[in-house]
Structure 1
Amino acid sequence: MEDRRESAVKIFCSKNILGILGFSSVIAVVALLALGLTQNKPLPENVKFGIVLDAGSSHTNLYIYKWPAEKENDTGVVTQLEECKVKGPGISEFAQKLSEIDIYLTECMERARKVIPTSQHTETPVYLGATAGMRLLRMENERLADKILAAVAKSISSYPFDFQGARIITGQEEGAYGWITINYLLGRFTQKLGWFNLKPSEGNTQETYGALDLGGASTQITFVPRNETTESPNNTLHFRLYGKNYGVYTHSFLCYGKDQALLQKLSKDLQAIEIRGTGNYRQCRRSILQLFNTSYCPYSSCSFNGIFLPPLQGNFGAFSAFYYVMEFLNLTSEEQSTHKKMINTLEKFCSQPWEELQMYFGEVKEKYLSEYCFSGTYILALLLNGYHFTAESWKNIHFMGKVRSTSVGWTLGYMLNLTNMIPSEEPLSTPLSHSTYVILMVLFSLILVIVVIIGIFIFHKPSYFWKDMV
C-alpha cells in the first residue's frame, strides 16, 4: 500500500516537474525568437550620399555626407564622409571673372566624383548655399549676384550628380540650420528611453544646445529661450522635430563676422593711409567696443544695435571662426576656457613683437597671424558685451570643431531639412536598446540551457533524483 502511494506521488511529481520544465523551455524559446525577430533588422544593402557646398564670404567648403539607405528618417545616422576646402576666396570675389568659376570648383567636385561610387552619382543630391558674402553683394548689385549663382549652377550641373540648385540662404536660415546640426549630432532631439523602450515622460526630454556661429561677414546666435512668448516675432522660428515642438530665437548680424568687423574697426580708426597695430590688448578692446551700440533698447532686453535678445538659456556650441580662433589660442579645452584665461592669453599674444610671432608661428599664413589678436579680442567683446555672457555663464560655451567626426556648421542641418531626413514625428525605433536586448537574450538563453540540463539529468538518472527528493 505504501509502495503504491509512493509510486503515485512520484508519477504526480514527475508530471508536474516535466510540465514546468517543458513550459519554461517553450517560454525561453519563444522569448528568444521574439527578441530576434523584433530587434534584428536587415543589414543596409547600400549607402546614400549627399553633397553640400558652403559658399562663405572668404572661402568655399564642400562636404560629403552618407547614411544607410534603409535608415532614412532614423536618428543619428548621417555622418560626414569627407570635407574638401576649395582653394581661393569666396564666390563673391568672382564677380568680374565668372569664367574662372569652373576651375575654382574643379578639384573638390572631382574629389566628390572619386569618393562617391559611380553607381550612386545620379542619385546623389548636390546643394550650394551662399551666405553673408553673397548677401552683401546682392544688396550692392543683385544682377551681379545672380550672374555668379548662374555660373556656379552651370559649373556644378556639368557633373553627373543630382544638382538641386544654388541659392543665397538668409541669416535666419544660417542660424537655424547651425542649431539643427549641433543638436542632431549631440542627439538632443531624441528622448532618453528606459528599459523596454517605455514612452518617456516630458522630464526625460533632453535640453537643446544653443548655437553660436561666426563667419567672415556675419555672426548668428540661436537658442530655445526659457520664455515661449516673444517680444520680436521676426526673431522666432518654429520647428516640429521628432514629435516635439521648438520655438527658437535666432538673429544674424550682417557685417559682424570677424572680417567685416575688422573692416568696420579700421574705417573708424582710419586717419592715414597706413595703420599700424600697437600690440595693446586693452586699447584694441576699447576700440572694438565702439562697434556695439548699446545706448538704446526698445525691448526688455537687447544684444546691441537695438536687437531683441531674450535671457540666455542653457549650453551653447560655438563653431566656425569661434572655434578656429580659440583653437589657435589653445583655449578650446573646457578646463582652461575661462574668460580670465582668455584675457591673459590675448594680453600676452597681442604684446609679442611681430618678428617673434613670425618665427614661432612660421607655418601660419601672415594674413591670419596678423589678425588673431583682433579676432580673439573681437570674440571676447562679442560674447561678453554683445551677447551678454558673464564670467559665470562662460562655462556654458563649448567651442566645437567636430562632433562624432562631423564638422559643426549649418551645412548638415541644411541637407537634413531639404532631404526631409528629420521627421516632424518621432520615428519608429528598435523595441529595445542594444544593452537591454543583449541582457535579455543572455538571460533567456541561460534559462533554456538550465532547463535542458535538468531535463537530461532527470532522464538519465531518475532514481538519484527521486532519492534526493524523498
Structure 2
Amino acid sequence: MGAGRGVAGKKFAWKKFAIAAGVLVGLVWVFGPRKDVTLGGVDPDFMNPDLSEVDYETSIHMPAPTLPSDLEDRPPAHTTTTSSLPRPTSPATDPDLLGTVHCTKPYTSGSPLVQYGLMIDAGSTGSRIHIYKFHNCGPSPTYEYEVFKQTHPGLSAFREDPLEAAKSLDILLDEALDVVPTSLRKCTPVAVKATAGLRLLGPEQSGAILEAVRNRIEEKYPFVLQGEDSVAIMDGKDEGVYAWITANYLLDSIRASSPKNAPTYAVLDLGGASTQIVFEPTFDPSKSESKFVEGDHKYELKFGGKTHVLYQHSYLGYGLMHARKSVHRLVEFISSVRHATGHGENGVVPNPCLARHTERVVEIEDERLGETRKVTMSGMDVGGLESCNRVMELVMAKDAICELKPCSFDGVYQPSILDTFPDGKILLLSYFYDRIKPLLPKDTAPPRLTVSTLATLADQVCLGPPSWAEHWANDPEAMAELEDRPEYCLDLTFMHALLRLGYEFAEEREVTIGKQLDGTELGWALGAGIALVGGELKCDI
C-alpha cells in the first residue's frame, strides 16, 4: 500500500511531538504511578484452572493465556495429485524437478510443463528469496512448493555502497541456481521488490542501489528480468494486496475451485518500517450512507473468476522498528521537559514501555538537528501495560484530523470494522507472529487468541523478570526471548494498540497468527510470484 500517509498527509514525526506538547500538562498521567487493575475482556478460558485453590487476592495476573495455533499444520489445499506418487513439498521430495506428479503434459500446447519463479523480498531488516515451483496442468500456473532462504541485513544497510548491496543478494540467487534446473533458468523470471526500508532512504540512494542490483543480476545470473519494475520499490498497496492473495489462496478461499461464497481473511502484516491492513468489506445496500468511498484505498482484484473489492492501506512509519523509535523519541522528549537539568537520576530516562527493572541504550534521532545520540533508558518501576499504553495513544495519532470519515488512526479513512467486517477472520503476519509465538504454551492443545489476550501477554511481560519467571519458568525458549529484549513490553503493547485503538477491533475479536502454511511463507511474495509467472514469458527450452 502506498507510501503516502492518507488524506491527512501529515509527516509522522512532527505530528507526534505536536500532540505531545499539548499534553505536557498531563505528564503525571503518563508516568505517574497507578494502581494495577485487572484487564477486562479476557476470555474465561484463559483463567488458571487451579485458581479456586489459591488466594484470589494474590492472583492478580493470569498465567500465560492459551492462544490459537499458527497455520503451519493446516492440510494443503492448493493442489490435487492425480498420480500415485506423493505430492512433493520440496526439491528433496520432488522425483522430477523438470516434471510434476499432477499431469504428464501441459494444459496449453507450447507451455512448459513446469516453471519456476524467483521473488526476492528486500525488506527493511533483511532480504529473502522465495523460489516457487509451478505446474501448467490447468489453464493458469498452479503453485506446488517453495524454497526459502534469507540473509541479513537488508539493502538499506548499504546506503553508501550500492555494489555491496547488490552483492548481498548473491547468496540468495546462488540458492536459486542450486534449485532451478539448468534448462529452465533462461525462462525463469526473477523480481526484486524492495519495501519500506528503501522507501525511507530517498530516491537518490535507493535508485543507486536498485540499479546496482539490476546490473549484477543481468551480468552474473541467467534468470529473466521482465520490465523496468522487476527491480523496484514495491508500491505499498501492492504489498498488502499480494499478502492478501497469498493467504487466501493457500487457505482456499479465492481460487476458482474454492467453495462458493467462501469467506475471506483480513490480512494484517507488521513489518519493520510499515504495517498493512487489507480486508474485503461488505456494505449494506439499504443504507444510503453505507458505501465504499472512492480513493486509492479501494482495490478491485479479479482472481479465480471473481472480483473482490478490497480495502487496503499501508502505514509507513508504523512498522515495529519505527514504532520503537517513535516511542523512545517521545519518551525522551517528555523526560527532557520534566527534568530541566537533565534526564532523571544519573541521566537515565525512565521509560514505561520497557519491562520493569530492565535497561536499554537506545539511539534517539533528532530530526530537527539531524543528529543521533545514545540515551540510557530503564523500565525502573514505571514499566507496565497501562502506562505504556498511554504513550501509545500519543504515538497512534488517534486524534489526527479525519477529513474522510470514518478514520482508523493518523487521519486515514477506513470502513468501520464493526459494520463492514463484523465476523470475518483475521490473520496476523510477520512481527505479530514473531513476538507472540515464542510465548505460547508448547505442550497444550491448539489455543485460542483474541485481541484482549495480547493485552494480557503484554501485562505479564511488562511487569519484568519476576513475572516472566512466574509464567514462563519452564519454557526456555520464551525466557531466552524475553531476557534479551527489554522492548518486548513495547512491542506487545504496540501490537495491542494497533488492533484495538488503531483499527478498532473489539477486545473479544478472535485472531490467528501465521508464518507458514503447508511449508510456504505467508506474506506478499507468493501473491506477487503468482502474478510474475502468470504473465507472458517466451523462452526457448
For 2:516, the equivalent position in structure 1 comes to 402
1:218 pairs with 2:274: yes
2:175 partner letter:
R
CA contact (8 A) 1:218 1:258 kept: yes
- Among 338, 350, 363, the alignment partner of 2:450 is 338
What is the TM-score with the length of structure 2 in the denominator? 0.62
For 1:48, the equivalent position in structure 2 comes to 115
- Looking at structure 2, the residues matched to 419 and 368 of structure 1 have their Cα atoms a distance apart, in angstroms, of 42
- Looking at structure 2, the residues matched to 297 and 212 of structure 1 have their Cα atoms a distance apart, in angstroms, of 22
User: Quick check: 209-218 or 221-230, which moved more?
Assistant: 221-230
CA contact (8 A) 1:322 1:379 kept: yes
1:205-354 aligned at under 5 Å gives the runs: 205-227=261-283, 229-270=291-332, 271=336, 272=343, 273-278=375-380, 279-295=383-399, 296-312=401-417, 313=421, 314-330=424-440, 335-353=447-465
- Looking at structure 2, the residues matched to 167 and 325 of structure 1 have their Cα atoms a distance apart, in angstroms, of 29
1:373 pairs with 2:507: no
The Cα of 1:131 is off from its aligned counterpart by 0.5
For 1:382, the equivalent position in structure 2 comes to 498
2:156 partner letter:
S
- Looking at structure 2, the residues matched to 131 and 349 of structure 1 have their Cα atoms a distance apart, in angstroms, of 30
For 1:467, the equivalent position in structure 2 comes to none
Query: How many percent identity over aligned positions?
Result: 30
CA contact (8 A) 1:331 1:337 kept: no
The Cα of 1:172 is off from its aligned counterpart by 0.8
CA contact (8 A) 1:80 1:407 kept: no
**Per the alignment, do residues 305 and 342 of structure 1 end up closer, same or farther by CA in structure 2, a change over 3 Å counting?**
closer
CA contact (8 A) 1:95 1:144 kept: yes
1:148 partner letter:
I
- Looking at structure 2, the residues matched to 210 and 300 of structure 1 have their Cα atoms a distance apart, in angstroms, of 21
In the TM superposition, what whole-angstrom CA distance separates every residue of 1:41-66 from its partner, at most 9, and x where no partner exists?
A: 64668431111010111111111110
The Cα of 1:380 is off from its aligned counterpart by 0.6
The Cα of 1:145 is off from its aligned counterpart by 1.0
- Among 216, 226, 237, the alignment partner of 1:155 is 216
- Among 79, 83, 86, the alignment partner of 2:148 is 83
- Looking at structure 1, the residues matched to 139 and 130 of structure 2 have their Cα atoms a distance apart, in angstroms, of 19
1:116 pairs with 2:173: no
- Among 178, 182, 185, the alignment partner of 2:247 is 182
**Per the alignment, do residues 53 and 368 of structure 1 end up closer, same or farther by CA in structure 2, a change over 3 Å counting?**
farther
- Looking at structure 2, the residues matched to 59 and 372 of structure 1 have their Cα atoms a distance apart, in angstroms, of 20
2:235 partner letter:
T
The Cα of 1:331 is off from its aligned counterpart by 7.7
User: Quick check: 274-283 or 380-389, which moved more?
Assistant: 274-283
- Looking at structure 1, the residues matched to 123 and 214 of structure 2 have their Cα atoms a distance apart, in angstroms, of 16
- Looking at structure 2, the residues matched to 277 and 151 of structure 1 have their Cα atoms a distance apart, in angstroms, of 43
CA contact (8 A) 1:95 1:148 kept: yes
CA contact (8 A) 1:73 1:421 kept: no
- Looking at structure 1, the residues matched to 276 and 309 of structure 2 have their Cα atoms a distance apart, in angstroms, of 16
- Give 3-state SS (helix, strand or coil) of 2:416's partner: coil
- Looking at structure 2, the residues matched to 345 and 323 of structure 1 have their Cα atoms a distance apart, in angstroms, of 13
CA contact (8 A) 2:406 2:415 kept: yes
The Cα of 1:236 is off from its aligned counterpart by 0.3
The Cα of 1:205 is off from its aligned counterpart by 2.1
1:57 partner letter:
S
- Give 3-state SS (helix, strand or coil) of 2:200's partner: helix
For 1:173, the equivalent position in structure 2 comes to 238
- Give 3-state SS (helix, strand or coil) of 2:232's partner: strand
The Cα of 1:191 is off from its aligned counterpart by 5.5
For 2:197, the equivalent position in structure 1 comes to 133
- Among 185, 201, 207, the alignment partner of 1:146 is 207
- Looking at structure 1, the residues matched to 515 and 144 of structure 2 have their Cα atoms a distance apart, in angstroms, of 15
- Give 3-state SS (helix, strand or coil) of 1:322's partner: helix
The Cα of 1:112 is off from its aligned counterpart by 1.4
RMSD over equivalenced CA pairs, Å: 2.9
CA contact (8 A) 1:127 1:166 kept: yes
In the TM superposition, what whole-angstrom CA distance separates every residue of 1:236-289 from its partner, at most 9, and x where no partner exists?
A: 011222221111110100000000111111111113532223442222222122
Q: Number of residue pairs matched?
A: 366
- Give 3-state SS (helix, strand or coil) of 2:378's partner: coil
CA contact (8 A) 1:331 1:342 kept: no
1:258 partner letter:
L
- Looking at structure 2, the residues matched to 252 and 232 of structure 1 have their Cα atoms a distance apart, in angstroms, of 17
1:61 partner letter:
R
The Cα of 1:184 is off from its aligned counterpart by 1.1
In the TM superposition, what whole-angstrom CA distance separates every residue of 1:207-245 from its partner, at most 9, and x where no partner exists?
A: 221111110000011111112832242210112222211
**Per the alignment, do residues 130 and 331 of structure 1 end up closer, same or farther by CA in structure 2, a change over 3 Å counting?**
farther
The Cα of 1:338 is off from its aligned counterpart by 2.6
- Looking at structure 2, the residues matched to 381 and 310 of structure 1 have their Cα atoms a distance apart, in angstroms, of 18
- Looking at structure 2, the residues matched to 146 and 109 of structure 1 have their Cα atoms a distance apart, in angstroms, of 21
For 2:158, the equivalent position in structure 1 comes to 94
Query: Unaligned stretches of 5+ in structure 2?
Result: 1-101, 107-111, 284-289, 337-342, 344-374, 537-541
2:245 partner letter:
I
2:242 partner letter:
Y
In the TM superposition, what whole-angstrom CA distance separates every residue of 1:73-98 from its partner, at most 9, and x where no partner exists?
A: 15xx3133211011x22111111122
For 2:136, the equivalent position in structure 1 comes to 69
The Cα of 1:381 is off from its aligned counterpart by 0.6
For 1:60, the equivalent position in structure 2 comes to 127
- Give 3-state SS (helix, strand or coil) of 1:275's partner: strand
**Per the alignment, do residues 103 and 253 of structure 1 end up closer, same or farther by CA in structure 2, a change over 3 Å counting?**
same
- Give 3-state SS (helix, strand or coil) of 1:127's partner: strand
Query: Unaligned stretches of 5+ in structure 1?
Result: 1-39, 194-199, 423-470
CA contact (8 A) 2:384 2:489 kept: no
In the TM superposition, what whole-angstrom CA distance separates every residue of 1:360-419 from its partner, at most 9, and x where no partner exists?
A: 559957997333221111111100000001023x21x22111122211101111121233
For 2:65, the equivalent position in structure 1 comes to none
1:411 pairs with 2:525: yes
- Looking at structure 2, the residues matched to 41 and 365 of structure 1 have their Cα atoms a distance apart, in angstroms, of 46
